[in-house]
Amino acid sequence: MTATVQLTGMNQPELASFMETLSEPAYRGRQLFAALQHRRLRSFDEITDLPKDLRARLSEVAQAATLKVESQYLSNDGTRRYLMKTHDGLPVETVFIPEERRDTICFSSQSGCPLQCTFCLTAQLGLLRSLTAGEIVEQIQIALNDAYGTGVKPPRGTNLVAMGAGEPLLNLDQLLKALRVMTDPQGLHIVPNRVTVSTAGVVPRILELATISDRPHLAISLAAPTDELRNELMPINKKWPLEELLSACKFFEKTLKPGERLTFEYVMLEGVNDSDEQARQLANLLNRHNIRSKVNLIPHNAADPLPYRPSSDAVVERFKNILESKGVHTYVRRPRGRDIFAACGQLAARQTTLNTRVVTNLVGAS
Ligand code: SF4
């Protein structure tokens, strides 16, 4: 039999059924789940609480890990970027961002991306393919094992954000499957309400997400206050323009929990979308729809050959003040990992040694 069954994306009942196909009792499935998720082991050889002959049989029919780490980069600010390859040779990127009170792992939902946002380097790859639930889970395992050691419980909470490569809502089934595996209490210690999915605005999927009780938080990338400019920066807007998008957000608002806000992300591009007038337009747009929300201003991360520059700190501050003067909750997101192409919009499978320390170059890291 060929070794094609990928076990990392399976939940406990699926692993129990899988073990039954090998004529093993269901509890072996729970053991396997604990080994793969709780202990974050990435090869059957390491699962020494399973009998040796069972491990050998598993190696013949299944895989405990498929992603291989090709390179990993460490930023001056502690951010780590992992460039990995799928079994079929496609790039996957993940970023680990340590912070004082918690860590954030920014993972990818697709290899490349089909959307054509003009300020994003990933867009230039096009869509290579959507990732499987297992490939999504593996990204988190690899980052946690590297940061803390195999299976070591993270000392701080871990935030997950689906803001790496890809449009997560175009891979919603696999994404939700992965999130359910990771938030299993016997799993990776991920807390459901610390997961945020960011979309460019796939309206039907926003409406669908609103009907899912264990959904993650939602962030919408806006980038422009008018259809005219958004059509240019985010061509998805031609399909689902701002009015439709914000109506979907209004519908989604009904599902917000106490204290939860919808996030609007606004990348700040010098001389393109950062004028006082555009700040007022943005505030008016959001106020007109009156959605319980906040705005994250994200200074653009310049990367050749993108034709944009980041807005200056003073302009970002001014933009923020205008939004706040009109009652819009506004925050500025500090860029992390710019020097290693790990920041928002910079993920494009770049191998670079510019301003970086390549920590290691290893295959099958865990
Ligand atoms: S910003 Fe997100 S949705 Fe747009 S092209 Fe980049 S990865 Fe895709």
Query: Using a 6 Å CB cutoff, which residues line ligand 1?
Result: 113, 115, 117, 120, 122-123, 165-167, 200, 345
Ligand 1 centroid from CA 319, angstroms: 23
Predicted local distance difference test score (pLDDT) of residue 101: 87
CA of 236 to the centre of ligand 1 (A): 10
For residue 336, count other CB atoms closer than 10 A to its CB. 21
pTM beyond cutoff 0.95: no
Task: Tell me the H-state helices in the chain.
Answer: 12-21, 27-33, 52-61, 133-148, 172-182, 203-209, 227-233, 236-239, 242-253, 276-289, 313-325
Residue 358: pLDDT band (50, 70, 90) is very low
Q: How confident is the model at residue 349 (pLDDT cuts 50, 70, 90)?
A: low
Q: Please say if the pLDDT value at position 353 is more than 50.
A: no
Helix axis angle, 172-182 relative to 133-148, nearest 10°? Answer: 40
Region 219-230: mean pLDDT is 97
pLDDT score at 355: 37
Average pLDDT over residues 194-207: 96
Whether 344 is catalytic: yes
| Choice among 170-174, 191-195, 276-280, 316-320 with the minimum mean pLDDT | 191-195
Tell me the pLDDT of the chain averaged across its residues: 90
